[in-house]
Chains A and B, each alone.
Chain A
Amino acid sequence: MGDISNTDAWTGDHLVDQGIITLPELDEAWALSRRWQMPLPDVLLSRSSVDSRTLYRSLADRFGLDHVDLIDEPPDLTLLSESDAETYMRELAVPWRVRETAKGKRLTIATARPGPQAMLFIRRRWGSEVDVVITSRRALRQAVQQAFSQSWTRRAIYDLDDRDPVMSARTVFTPVQLLILWALASACAIGAVLAPIATLIVLNALMSVFYLGNFAFKGLAIWAGGVDLAAQQREIDAAIGLLADEDLPVYTILVPMFREPDVLPILAGALRRLDYPAAKLDIKIVLEEGDTPTIDAARALKLEEIFEIILVPPSHPQTKPKACNYAFRLARGEFCVIYDAEDKPEPDQLKRVVAAFARAPKTVACVQCRLNYYNRDENWLTRLFTLDYSLWFDLMLPGLERMGVPIPLGGTSNHFRTDVLRELHAWDPFNVTEDADLGIRMTQKGYRTKLVESTTFEEANVSVGNWIRQRSRWIKGYMQTLLVHLRRPGDFVQQVGPLGVLGFVMFIGGTMTSGLINPVFWAVFVVWAVTQAAGFDIFFPPVLLYLSLFNLLAGNGMLIFLMMLAPFRRNWLELTAWAPTVIGYWVLMSIAAWKGLFQLITRPFYWEKTTHGLSRMTAIERARADSGEGGA
């Protein structure tokens, strides 16, 4: 653990002399500064020991420099270069203006990190014939952001499409894909004219084989995922114990929000409870410029300096990945994670991820944590949603990881190496399941995803309508992802391997396809059961009949059984009895699938916003957060 710098020592003394902080506060801050290996001002700001304006004014006085507020007095845009934006943010120094001085016109540099290092940089970068003023970190970042917002907005939208158009969902269907789909449809039409029975039998057979493959693959994934997670957990626990705060890197947390003022206090509370050096948290609350209620709510909370509010200028598509791309440009951390507004990650999650990354090869670019719900017992829908997530995250994902199948990432708690994320041009703003898409894209570029035993708890949808809106967006996104990544099937196979392709088709394609075709088979079954009509018999020759019966009974039975097993790892045995009602859940999924397909054609980039804060648990959590209580 290194000692504090002279600058920090001097700054601390000054603040005490000025009565801005007390001596015990200074001692505490110094101790943290040593432990975290972070500058003293950062520590003080992260703990809200002093507000930003007071600190920087005091520093300006101490150094005998002027203090400027770059928000009120923004820099001269002609002095700024977009290519240096990252440098401005990292070094916290930016050209402000050219002022008339007694020495003539001189360039003035605004810095938010007064001290020898800053001066050294300024001189190297702009020479010695410059003046320096002091500004706050927040103001400097905001000024830089405003200077380049238009360009950053465009890049947030079109970067991926410009640099790697094959990987962008901006083109929903390529001409080749349309031609192939049309050819398939035409072949079916010809078959329907020339040999309708045979054509329908063939289609029936294809769908039945697909179902069989779906069941088999899911069963295989779960079987493969039966790893000893306890051993893995012990390893991570041991690794965490060896981590020192000084070894922990800066961590960027992106929290995109839209029209969610109510859940903001819950989020803030959850992030404060993270077991991580506060000064090393680079938290970005990403809001849309037009979302006044949420912006006002955020400002009203008077969040600490570690919470930075990023306002995304209005543009289309108005999606979460676009907002994240915009904010990601300002990320300072070595690692980056996205949390949703209602998320409650386990406090030691960041450390677990750091330990996991440290033990993993460089090809591991993402660590996916588990998701689950804190309001699981609220109603039937939340219970089924919990079973669904438990099955996916606790049983299937470990199997996919072990089989080397590309993992479609979950919407939150995806932790990335920031440099890799930049290399991949971050998220696709045109894909409404940008997380799933990114997971596949990462695999294609040679990177992998690792799972870590840490859970983020979210609010499960309590309303059927809300759930359908959310799920329709997911399925639409899966459709987009499928269309994007199968544009070059040969390359795709080479990059992810046959097993990866199979997994991709079964999980991404399977989810949407089964949702679309299930109603057809359900209708056939219901009509036959009610009317005993024999008209369907000719479409089910013996082998196909047995296969279909197997799918109906054994396949669905297996899925229900797996649903019943899903909550066992978390010891939520009371949910097991609800598993047989999953059939109703599947009906909702089919509704969502058809809605998603419709939107894929009519509004492919439309982000169907999920309303949060409907759960009564959320209201309880909000009350706790407002009162300053903790608790998950």
Chain B
Amino acid sequence: MGAGRGLAIMITALALAGPAPVLAQPVTRAIPLEEIGQGDGVEFSGLAGRKVLHFPIGDPADVQSVVLNLPFETQSAYPANRQITLRIGSRAIATRRFADTESGIWRMPVPANLLDSRYLSVALDYSGALKGARCAASQIGGDWIRFGGGAGAEVVYADDAMRDAGRAIGHAPGPLAVELPARPSEAQVAGALLLAAARPVRFGPPRTDGDWQETHVTFDASSQGPLKIAQGSRPAFIVGRDPQAAARIFAAAPDLPGGALPVAAAALGERQVSRAAIGLSSLDADLAPRLISDRGGWTIPLPAARVPHGRTLSGLVADLAVADDGGDTPAIVTIALNGLLLASRPAMPGERNRLSVSIPDGLATTDNRIDVSVLRQERGGDCDSPPVRQEARLLASSHAVLDKAGEPADFHDLPAAFAGGVTLVLPARPGNATIAAVAGLLGGMLSASTPLSVQFGGALPDGPVIWLGDNPPPGIEPPLRPSAKTRIRGVDGTPMVDAATLARASVVQLVPKGGRPVLWIRPGRDFAQLAGMSAAARLGYGDIALFDGSGRLFAMHSGREKLVDIENEGDFDLADWMRQHRIWLVLGAWLLVSALFAWLLRQTYLSRDRGGQNDG
């Protein structure tokens, strides 16, 4: 496989290295905060703060100019002198003062000489002080400044920056608008799904209004090579004969050096992954040192798709170094996973402080969030002195521990299972809406490097399978068999999901068969609306999940749940039967008991009347 892929990439490189059309004008692209994971914008308060934003601008040699476009709003309850300093790297490029109440747009061009890497790192340093002879501690706060999700960087690329796909792909917007042909092939469907795994994807024609914020991708099976560029004011990409390679290229695009596409798998970022651990520094998180006065830390996303095939998350190790603040009370370091505190300990200054924890069963999910925090007893911050901030570092040795995986029990175990290969079986050649819905539903389950095969109809293949259809895969007995009489209820009989809801909903079930996972997706009435499903509604916990147009309705584990029962048509549950026929059962028992008492009463009177003939 590796050699074949390498050969395909080499052919691609040769194909893409050919002469390209000359573009008429520079191309402008907007990189909103939303694209770099700051969809809620950036906010500061407490007269202090720092945030570093990393804009993926691509090869800086192709960049003509960059302007930071920062719409803001700000208020302060008390008169204060407040300012924000913009820094690129360590160099301040601008400082702006803000009034107590103000809104507007702060546009700041970035000096060209500071564009020296594929990522433009812009640091916003917020600081201030209360006006007048007012003595107040900094914790009073009452001030804030917010840069909305529409803020971002406006990048203008040189004429020839979009000359070839290899260069253009690093400059194109991250979000993709994928347009499949009317009759997509199996490989094209697979490619589209992998693109959706690699980047935010919208299925459909691109938007032509507003800034260039999404990259148009189309498919042409006759095109040589995995990827080529199409002409236009907003360059588009054409996926060729190897859609899966194209997906991997798009996944690695921000880190690709300019010029020809890499010919080796390693350059695509498909590096050899350790099967024992995942370094936290390899994850998409800002692990820069923090200056902490009372509380601060790092939030590290750990998608399940990062777990290698056959492995599972079993533990976390966080190594921290905390500077001595001269106080008697040591700092406390904590580690939490998905909001659950797993461990904490006092941090010895000047030493490596290690937090090593096992991950409890059922805590990991598809989109894991690791929070490493440092808590200090704040010094200063009163009238006499400002808060004392000391540095804390999350060391590169911090990692997530992997262990051998068992049979997938929950949805969040699937990404690791699929990482070794998976086949998606569709009942027929799908339309865009279906592919979009499948892509939305499988969010987090696939990565760009997942060996994904697509099959239109046919028998159940070997290996892990994703089966889309109204009926379960052949030979599979799912725990939930949707029918007119199937419902989900609590053990006390409280209905939780009635049959009508179940009939309308899209039902996803994980049914292991012979040690390999089979994911059965039964589309519901609003299946198409799953295309834009949020990350929070993704498959994660359990082996049964219900979705409607609004997202995930319900999720459970058919084996572990003690308080929920599935009532399939044709199932006989004694407890339920007794509950349904309770009145008749009670009446019958009461009649029997009454008959017994009547008989005993008769025996009592008979024995008195017969004067002892019955005694014995």
Residues of A within 8 A of B (CB): 157-158, 170-175, 178, 181-182, 185-186, 189, 192-193, 196-197, 316-318, 430, 532-535, 537-538, 601, 605-606
A535/B575 in contact, CB under 8 A: yes
Q: Which of B19-27, B120-128, B184-192, B588-596 contacts A (4 or more CB under 8 A)?
A: B588-596
The residue in chain A whose Cβ has the minimal distance to the Cβ of B596 is A601
Interface residues of B in 570-604 (CB under 8 A from A): 575, 582-583, 586-587, 589-590, 593-594, 596-597, 600-601, 603-604
Give the chain B neighbours of A535 by CB distance below 8 A.
491, 575
Given the interface contacts A534-B563, A538-B492, does A193 sit within 8 Å of B607 by beta carbon?
A: no
The residue in chain A whose Cβ has the minimal distance to the Cβ of B593 is A185
Give the chain A neighbours of B575 by CB distance below 8 A.
535
Given the interface contacts A171-B607, A317-B615, A601-B600, does A182 sit within 8 Å of B582 by beta carbon?
A: no
A605/B615 in contact, CB under 8 A: yes
Given the interface contacts A318-B616, A535-B575, does A189 sit within 8 Å of B590 by beta carbon?
A: yes
Interface residues of B in 537-584 (CB under 8 A from A): 562-563, 575, 582-583
Known: A178-B604, A185-B593, A535-B575. 7 other contacts (CB 8 A): A182-B597, A186-B590, A189-B593, A197-B492, A535-B491, A605-B615, A605-B616
A532/B600 in contact, CB under 8 A: no
- Please tell me which one of the listed residues A173, A192, A538 contacts residue B491 in the complex, with CB atoms under 8 A apart: A538
Rounded to whole angstroms, the CA-CA distance of A193 and B612 in the bound complex is 41
Between A157, A175, A430, A534, the greatest number of chain B beta carbons within 10 A of the residue's beta carbon is seen for: A534
- Please tell me which one of the listed residues A178, A316, A317, A533 contacts residue B597 in the complex, with CB atoms under 8 A apart: A178
Write 15 A-B pairs (CB below 8 A) sorted by A numbering. Answer: A170-B607, A171-B607, A171-B608, A172-B604, A173-B600, A175-B601, A175-B604, A175-B605, A178-B601, A192-B586, A193-B583, A317-B616, A318-B616, A533-B562, A601-B600
- Please tell me which one of the listed residues B587, B594, B604, B607 contacts residue A182 in the complex, with CB atoms under 8 A apart: B594
Give the chain A neighbours of B563 by CB distance below 8 A.
534, 537
Give the chain A neighbours of B605 by CB distance below 8 A.
175
User: What range describes how many residues of B lie at the interface?
Assistant: 20 to 34
Rounded to whole angstroms, the CA-CA distance of A254 and B167 in the bound complex is 117
A534/B562 in contact, CB under 8 A: yes
A157/B597 in contact, CB under 8 A: no
Give the chain A neighbours of B594 by CB distance below 8 A.
182, 185-186
Rounded to whole angstroms, the CA-CA distance of A196 and B579 in the bound complex is 9
Given the interface contacts A182-B593, A533-B562, A535-B575, does A171 sit within 8 Å of B612 by beta carbon?
A: no
B573 to A: closest C-beta gap in Å: 10
B578 to A: closest C-beta gap in Å: 10
The residue in chain A whose Cβ has the minimal distance to the Cβ of B578 is A196
Rounded to whole angstroms, the CA-CA distance of A193 and B587 in the bound complex is 9
B491/A172 in contact, CB under 8 A: no
A274 to B: closest C-beta gap in Å: 35
B556 to A: closest C-beta gap in Å: 13
B361 to A: closest C-beta gap in Å: 15
B85 to A: closest C-beta gap in Å: 58
Between A175, A192, A533, A606, the greatest number of chain B beta carbons within 10 A of the residue's beta carbon is seen for: A192
Given the interface contacts A170-B615, A318-B616, A538-B491, does A178 sit within 8 Å of B607 by beta carbon?
A: no
Give the chain A neighbours of B583 by CB distance below 8 A.
193
The residue in chain B whose Cβ has the minimal distance to the Cβ of A192 is B586
Rounded to whole angstroms, the CA-CA distance of A448 and B586 in the bound complex is 46
The residue in chain B whose Cβ has the minimal distance to the Cβ of A189 is B590
Give the chain B neighbours of A157 by CB distance below 8 A.
612, 615
Give the chain A neighbours of B603 by CB distance below 8 A.
172
Give the chain B neighbours of A606 by CB distance below 8 A.
616
B125 to A: closest C-beta gap in Å: 54
A618 to B: closest C-beta gap in Å: 30
Rounded to whole angstroms, the CA-CA distance of A185 and B607 in the bound complex is 24
Give the chain B neighbours of A605 by CB distance below 8 A.
615-616
A172/B562 in contact, CB under 8 A: no
Rounded to whole angstroms, the CA-CA distance of A532 and B563 in the bound complex is 11
Give the chain B neighbours of A171 by CB distance below 8 A.
604, 607-608
The residue in chain B whose Cβ has the minimal distance to the Cβ of A181 is B597
A527 to B: closest C-beta gap in Å: 11
- Please tell me which one of the listed residues B589, B608, B612 contacts residue A189 in the complex, with CB atoms under 8 A apart: B589
A540 to B: closest C-beta gap in Å: 13
A532/B615 in contact, CB under 8 A: no
